[in-house]
């Protein structure tokens, strides 16, 4: 049993329309990094090779349904955990 | 005190358990600030005025354009070129003559926001850009006003309810900037999200139900799914981090 990441439909254009993926890593940051390696089209959402979560862009990440803030990217994850990556939006 | 006309007009919602004439009276006394008369602001204000919110201040700085009409349901063909405020005010007054509508043509800025929201009980975030949402979020925190957030993109939307000092605020959740490009959207998406915002406002005013606090609701119209995520206050949040959690 690995770690699954659910991908927001707004991001699926960048992941070959895949809405879920298996990722590897001991921390949230490592899992996101592995996702970006699998889907190079996520590059618009990266900076200096790292998948951005909040700092300069507008992605949100959740582990088992709970938000993870930028300073918590080193949060450990384990097999069976489920991550979600969503696009934060501001239109009205 | 509700008039006989009001008792009849609101009869069906007064019948809701926990609502009653007391709840309707609370709505009548409420003063609601709606930021934006566009895709979100149109349905949000329509349903709040229909429900009998006593006073609404609605602020927008745009004029009605043809490309607005797929979603901004307060504005019709005949309103092209009018200010959105005039168009909105006209429709809302025709919908319910019992309520007071204050329509203000203004750009919301850091300088004027406190003055604009002064005297109101809560803020409905119906803006179309993140910088102004941040300005409103900060004003909500500083003035201890509940903040009802909604945002859309395409067939997707997000909503959450913010109680200053008690729940995660918008700045806890959003740390980045969004590109200022024209965003895709179809009218049903802001309709869904604005109705969630209006529902939250009504529940808050009447004092019933469970608010969408510390929860971010994601609406996926294409998959027709609602997903809920738990959110939490960020102690280092630049807007609300200084507040000590109450209760």
Q: Say if residues B27 and B54 touch (Cβ distance below 8 Å).
A: yes
Nearest residue of B to residue A91 by CA position?
B128
Q: Who's near B94: CB < 8 A, 6+ residues apart?
A: none
Q: Which of A52, A54, A63, A56 is nearest to A14 (CA)?
A: A52
pTM tops 0.80, yes or no: yes
The whole-number pLDDT of residue A70 equals 84
Residues of A in contact with B153 (CB under 8 A): 10, 87, 89, 91
Q: Say if residues B37 and B187 touch (Cβ distance below 8 Å).
A: no
pLDDT mean over B208-236: 96
Partner residue opposite A70 with nearest CB, options B175, B216, B223: B175
Q: What is the DSSP string of B106-172?
A: ----TTTHHHHHTT-SEEEE--SSHHHHHHHHHHHHHTT--EEEEEEEBTEEEEEEE-TTTS--HHH
Residues B111-158: tens digit of each pLDDT: 999 999 999 999 999 999 989 999 999 999 999 999 999 999 999 999
Architecture of the domain whose range is A3-87: Roll (3.10)
Architecture of the domain whose range is B4-230: 3-Layer(aba) Sandwich (3.40)
- Extents of the domains making up chain B: 4-230
Residues of A in contact with B39 (CB under 8 A): 91-92
* CA pair distance A61, A49, nearest whole angstrom: 18
For the ranges A4-8, A54-58, B229-233, the lowest mean pLDDT is seen at A54-58
- Extents of the domains making up chain A: 3-87
ipTM of the shown complex: 0.90
The answer, for B247 touching chain A at a CB cutoff of 8 Å, is no
Interchain pair A91, B177: CB under 8 A: no
């Amino acid at each position: 049993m690995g770690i699954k990441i659910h991908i927001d439909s707004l991001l699926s254009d960048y992941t070959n329309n895949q809405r879920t993926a298996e990722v590897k890593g001991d921390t949230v940051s490592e899992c996101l990094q592995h996702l970006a390696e699998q889907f190079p089209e996520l590059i618009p959402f990266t900076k200096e090779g790292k998948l951005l979560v909040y700092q300069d862009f507008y992605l949100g990440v959740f582990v088992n349904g709970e938000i993870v803030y930028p300073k918590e990217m080193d949060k450990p994850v384990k097999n069976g955990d489920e991550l979600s990556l969503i696009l934060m939006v501001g239109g009205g | 005190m509700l008039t006989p006309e009001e008792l009849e007009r609101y009869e069906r919602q007064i019948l809701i358990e926990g609502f009653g004439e007391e709840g309707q009276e609370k709505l009548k006394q409420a003063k609601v600030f709606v930021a934006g008369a566009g895709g979100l602001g149109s349905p949000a204000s329509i349903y709040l005025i229909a429900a009998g919110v006593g006073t609404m201040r609605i602020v927008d700085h745009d004029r009605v354009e043809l490309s607005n009409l797929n979603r901004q349901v307060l504005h019709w063909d005949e309103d092209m070129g009018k200010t959105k405020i005039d168009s909105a005010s006209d429709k809302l007054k025709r919908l319910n003559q019992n309520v007071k509508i204050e329509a203000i043509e203004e750009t919301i800025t850091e300088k004027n926001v406190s003055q604009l929201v002064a005297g109101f009980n809560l803020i409905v975030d119906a803006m179309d850009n993140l910088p102004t949402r941040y300005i409103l979020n900060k004003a909500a925190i500083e003035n201890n006003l509940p903040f009802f957030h909604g945002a859309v993109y395409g067939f997707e939307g997000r909503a959450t309810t913010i109680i200053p000092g008690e729940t995660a605020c918008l700045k806890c959740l959003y740390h980045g900037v969004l590109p200022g490009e024209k965003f895709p959207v179809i009218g049903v998406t802001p309709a869904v999200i604005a109705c969630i915002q209006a529902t939250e406002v009504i529940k808050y005013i009447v004092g019933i139900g469970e608010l969408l606090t510390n929860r971010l609701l994601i609406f996926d119209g294409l998959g027709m799914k609602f997903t809920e995520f738990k959110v939490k206050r960020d102690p280092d949040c630049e807007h609300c981090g200084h507040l000590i959690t109450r209760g």
